[in-house]
Chains A and B, each alone.
Chain A
Amino acid sequence: MLVPRKLAAIATVAVAVLIVSGCASSSPPQASKSGGTASIAIFHEFSGPNAAYGPEAAAGCYPAVRLINAAGGVLGSKFECLPTDSKGDPADAIPAARKLISSTANLVGVIGGGSDNAPAVVPIFNQAKIPIFSTTGQSVFDTNTAAYFWRLLSPDTAQGYAMAAAAKQLGRTRVATVFGNDVAAQGSAPSAIAGIKKLGLKLVAHQTLALDQPSYRTEVEALIQSNPQVIISEADPQTTATYLSELKGLGTLVPLITDPVSQEPNWITAVSGSIGGDTLARLDTAVVAYAPMSTVAYKAFSGALLASAAQVPKPSQWTSDLYSVADYDSAIVMALAMLEAHSTAPSKYNGFITQVTAAHAGHSVVHTFAEGKKLLSQGKSIQYVGAVGPIQFNRNHNANNAFALETYGSGGQWTPAGLITAAALAAAQ
């Protein structure tokens, strides 16, 4: 049947419009004027096997936005968190990032970029001149040159050295390493192994696990044969639970040294389910960024988090999650930088992020957004010390933290059990 000419012409134009709008990529949003709503995107997985990452980041964003808005917002703008499913791998995350940028005119910043897609999406946000605060530990960002990329937590390489230092500090001499073969876990494996050797400890076994296998019995048997005193490990909840369950089944559970992943609710649930919460509490020591829960900043975060139950289901599960804490600080830093810059435009305030975080003589230390806003309105300079502690960005926009040892209580809280001193960390490197 012949299509009438006019109909064909209309259809052609419609298709062309769809193609152009669909291909619109990385066009920077309009500079945000005062008033209205400013959006901070939570760019993480909200579906699929890592669907816990989105709610984890939301547990940082919503408390921050609550406090920002409670203090009157920024330059007349109220803030909102915009959950955006990155879907995980780069093939899905890239179009999701482009769509976010092109469809969100009031996008002022991004909390996101997990280890599985950060190298792919950071350049997109950087090109669009939108600051992205990521908790990825990948070493590729250790020498980051993207002006709009920021990382509040120490990279995986430092984490690995800290875990080796922890083994030494705990008096263990025979150490095994068990890491998943994913990009996130493999970030700290090399430095953990190097640190073990540098400290003169004996590396009795080194295993790289294929993720989410139905069985690790062979690997577990090999580990038992090596007779370690401690296992340094990072792997996803499923993999770790299966592995430890089989270790327990063969009768030989060994003390663990883990990283912040082990403080995520899903990890705790999975591993507790497989070996028991009491056993986990007895065996596990987590090496995490030193972020005491007694500070003003941390208390502000946890209070706001618990008040955000409408947006964050079961908020108490995230109070010890370092990634949520870091994401909270990320949003606060963005807002304070906007005040300092007198603009919510991402391309403008980005240059002021270090202004509000660096330690300088004459800068007043603040621990909450309200404190910072008050002093900035008085024309003073500030240094925001957040829930993760001091945030000192280096020239690659990485902030390195001190490390602490924490143990898990069967009541569900993590308790400080010691510090990794700078000297101890340096000795492992």
Chain B
Amino acid sequence: MNVVISAVGFGLVTAAILALGAVGFTLQFGVTNVLNLAYTGVLSIAAFVALSLNLAGLNIWWCVLVAGVAGALASLLLNLFVYKPFIRRGTKLFGMVIVSIAVLLILEHGLQAIVGVSFFSFRFDSGGVVRWGALVFTTVQLVTMGLALVAMLLLHIGMRYTRLGKAMRATANDPSLARACGIRTARVVNIAWLASGFLCGVGGVLLFMDTSTFSATTGNEFLIVIIAAAVLGGIGDAYGAVIGALIVGIATEVAAALITPSAKEIVAFAILVLVLIVRPSGLFAKSTSQKQFAK
């Protein structure tokens, strides 16, 4: 039993990091209907911006903030100069997917050409070990979970109780109607990209602190897991993405404990498939497949 409790604890750390990535991914998709597969390319860029400052002496926690800002800017620029022009030209969903894959490859290989093929590590003190019964965490892991929790709470408050949040929800539901009601959907879309990129950047640094080392291509390893968590919860639903991240994060660690470590990915994706069989749009579903792109 202790083994399972430990695994759940470990899974919470993974889930916290995954939640940041999945929520950022699904939030942007929910508002814009653009499947941004270049998401982890932005994650890697933001992480390397943060790394450069960290290696110059900046404290890691300021680097997390820097990465968020870098991710936000990169995301916004990606939309303004790549996705938006294609949408204006009438590019349909499948075409946009191809565009985003192309962008991902450009970002990945471009970054590798700049930073090389080596591995890098953030400099920070991982702190001591904290034990609560069978639960074991390092100080950094506790801070990571705390940051993720704060981010999710702020997002909840923003989406639920602010005019901007209401505007984002309205745009996500029906961009044309939202525009007709006087909502400046273009501004809402830009803010969605900024928010998505911020969460992506923050999540990226926390992820690479967790893995302890990373290269130009490490971020891309997590794209599928991020998408899986988002889809599991219901693509476009931020709360669903959090639940999806919890399920994926905890299930992988428990699978490693009870079955075998190599079953991690199998179990996570098996759960995804089973959920989608029962609820094809995810746990907290609202289908967006027929939506137009928000402009």
Interface residues of A (CB under 8 A from B): 47-49, 51-52, 55, 181, 207-210, 212-219, 221-222, 237-238, 241-242, 245-246, 249-251, 265-266, 269-271, 273-274
Inter-chain contacts of B7 with A (CB < 8 A): 218
Inter-chain contacts of A55 with B (CB < 8 A): 117
Whether, in the assembled complex, B253 has its beta carbon less than 8 Å from a beta carbon of chain A, the answer is yes
In contact, A238 and B214 (Cβ under 8 angstroms): yes
In contact, A214 and B129 (Cβ under 8 angstroms): no
Q: Please name the residue on chain A nearest to B258 by beta carbon.
A: A218
- The complex places the Cα of A218 from the Cα of B136 at a distance, in Å, of 10
Q: Inter-chain contact count A-B, CB under 8 Å?
A: 116
Q: Which of B17, B207, B213 contacts A270 (CB 8 A)?
A: B213
Q: Which of A47, A48, A218, A242 contacts B212 (CB 8 A)?
A: A242
Whether, in the assembled complex, B174 has its beta carbon less than 8 Å from a beta carbon of chain A, the answer is no
Can you list, as one digit per residue, whether each of B215-229 has a CB less than 8 Å from chain A (1) or not (0)? Answer: 101100110000000
What are 13 residue pairs bridging A and B, where the CB atoms are less than 8 Å apart in the complex? A49-B215, A52-B117, A208-B261, A209-B262, A213-B264, A214-B210, A215-B14, A217-B13, A217-B136, A221-B3, A242-B211, A250-B136, A271-B213
In contact, A218 and B117 (Cβ under 8 angstroms): no
Whether, in the assembled complex, B119 has its beta carbon less than 8 Å from a beta carbon of chain A, the answer is yes
Whether, in the assembled complex, B121 has its beta carbon less than 8 Å from a beta carbon of chain A, the answer is yes
In contact, A274 and B121 (Cβ under 8 angstroms): yes
In contact, A215 and B119 (Cβ under 8 angstroms): no
Chain A interface helix/strand/loop/mixed: helix
A207-B261, A212-B218 known; A218-B118 Cβ under 8 A: no
Chain B interface helix/strand/loop/mixed: helix
A218-B256, A219-B256, A274-B121 known; A210-B265 Cβ under 8 A: yes
In contact, B257 and A241 (Cβ under 8 angstroms): no
In contact, A266 and B212 (Cβ under 8 angstroms): no
- The complex places the Cα of A213 from the Cα of B257 at a distance, in Å, of 15
Interface residues of B (CB under 8 A from A): 3, 6-7, 10, 13-14, 17-18, 109, 112, 117-121, 126, 129, 136, 138, 207, 210-215, 217-218, 221-222, 252-254, 256-257, 260-265
A219-B261, A238-B215 known; A265-B17 Cβ under 8 A: no
| Additional A-B contact list (8), CB under 8 Å, known A51-B112, A266-B119, A273-B119 | A210-B265, A216-B261, A241-B211, A242-B211, A249-B126, A269-B119, A270-B121, A274-B213
- The complex places the Cα of A215 from the Cα of B262 at a distance, in Å, of 12
Inter-chain contacts of B222 with A (CB < 8 A): 214
- The complex places the Cα of A274 from the Cα of B254 at a distance, in Å, of 25
Q: Please name the residue on chain B nearest to A215 by beta carbon.
A: B14
In contact, B119 and A222 (Cβ under 8 angstroms): no
- The complex places the Cα of A55 from the Cα of B112 at a distance, in Å, of 14
Inter-chain contacts of B257 with A (CB < 8 A): 218, 222
Inter-chain contacts of B207 with A (CB < 8 A): 214
- The complex places the Cα of A52 from the Cα of B215 at a distance, in Å, of 11
Inter-chain contacts of A51 with B (CB < 8 A): 112, 117, 217
In contact, A210 and B212 (Cβ under 8 angstroms): no
- The complex places the Cα of A266 from the Cα of B115 at a distance, in Å, of 13
In contact, B217 and A48 (Cβ under 8 angstroms): yes
In contact, A218 and B138 (Cβ under 8 angstroms): no
Which 5 A-B pairs give the minimum distances between C-beta atoms? A273-B121, A245-B212, A217-B10, A270-B119, A274-B212
Inter-chain contacts of A212 with B (CB < 8 A): 218, 221
Inter-chain contacts of A241 with B (CB < 8 A): 119, 121, 211-213
- The complex places the Cα of A250 from the Cα of B10 at a distance, in Å, of 12
Q: Please name the residue on chain B nearest to A272 by beta carbon.
A: B121
- The complex places the Cα of A52 from the Cα of B216 at a distance, in Å, of 12
Instruction: Output the least CB separation between A84 and chain B (Å).
Output: 17
